[in-house]
Chain A
Amino acid sequence: AQSVTQLDSQVPVFEEAPVELRCNYSSSVSVYLFWYVQYPNQGLQLLLKYLSGSTLVKGINGFEAEFNKSQTSFHLRKPSVHISDTAEYFCAVSVSNQGGKLIFGQGTELSVKP
């Protein structure tokens, strides 16, 4: 079975500081990896995805993530955060032969303070 673990439930940071949100996954088959952002009372918006190729993936809003197969990790980073980045962030995997369904981590609440 596949699983996704987000190691931090809450991450408080100051504006303009760098941030890393950690994600580890477990799977015996190949997966694709995604990061979604959820603003309060909203749906999920795709930040970025790793399908193949370069292990460093760039997404929207200045976010990037690095796929590390040996460590089964897909950590999300931003060099300088803004107040508007305050939101819940979800790491997810989709698994071959399972028709595109996503398995989500528990989420990380990013709180950016002035």
Chain B
Amino acid sequence: NAGVMQNPRHLVRRRGQEARLRCSPMKGHSHVYWYRQLPEEGLKFMVYLQKENIIDESGMPKERFSAEFPKEGPSILRIQQVVRGDSAAYFCASSPQGSMNTEAFFGQGTRLTVV
């Protein structure tokens, strides 16, 4: 059973370009969470999705950021018109249930560098 797969592992974008980060959850998991880790900081929650639904996006910046988890295929975190401050590690986690006592499994992250 493969773990949570994120790709790419490293992504370099110029200011103003779009970044697309992909997350394939573990088999059987229908709940996906995205977190951002800025340099020297802990992980900050961004968004929680179930298949085809955004459940909680309270941590998403109001502009330029969007997320989806379609019926088929991976979850996508999209950042439009990237700026230097978007440089960070973005982690995806998945769980079989969206409850507080269920372990979430993390991917290895995508490290975005904006130049």
A contact residues vs B (CB 8 Å cutoff) = 6, 31-32, 36, 41-46, 49, 51, 90, 94-96, 98-107
Q: Is the CB of A45 within 8 A of B56?
A: no
B24 at the interface (CB under 8 A from A): no
Contacts of A101 in B (CB 8 A): 33, 45, 48, 56
Contact status of A95 and B91, CB under 8 A, knowing A90-B43, A106-B41: no
The contact of A100 among B4, B35, B91, B99, by CB within 8 Å, is B99
Contact yes or no, B103 A104, CB < 8 A: no
Complex-state Cα separation, A80 to B1, whole angstroms: 33
Q: Which of A6, A32, A46, A106 contacts B101 (CB 8 A)?
A: A32
Report the interface size class on chain B.
20 to 34
A-B contacts counted at CB < 8 A amount to 70
Flag the segment in B14-22, B75-83, B104-112 that touches A: B104-112
- 14 interchain pairs (CB within 8 A)? A32-B100, A41-B111, A43-B106, A46-B105, A51-B101, A99-B31, A99-B56, A100-B33, A102-B43, A102-B45, A104-B42, A104-B43, A104-B44, A105-B42
Instruction: Assess whether A42 is in contact with B108, with CB atoms less than 8 Å apart.
Output: yes
* Chain B residues proximal to chain A, CB less than 8 Å: 4, 6, 31, 33, 35, 41-45, 48, 55-56, 91, 93, 95, 97-109, 111
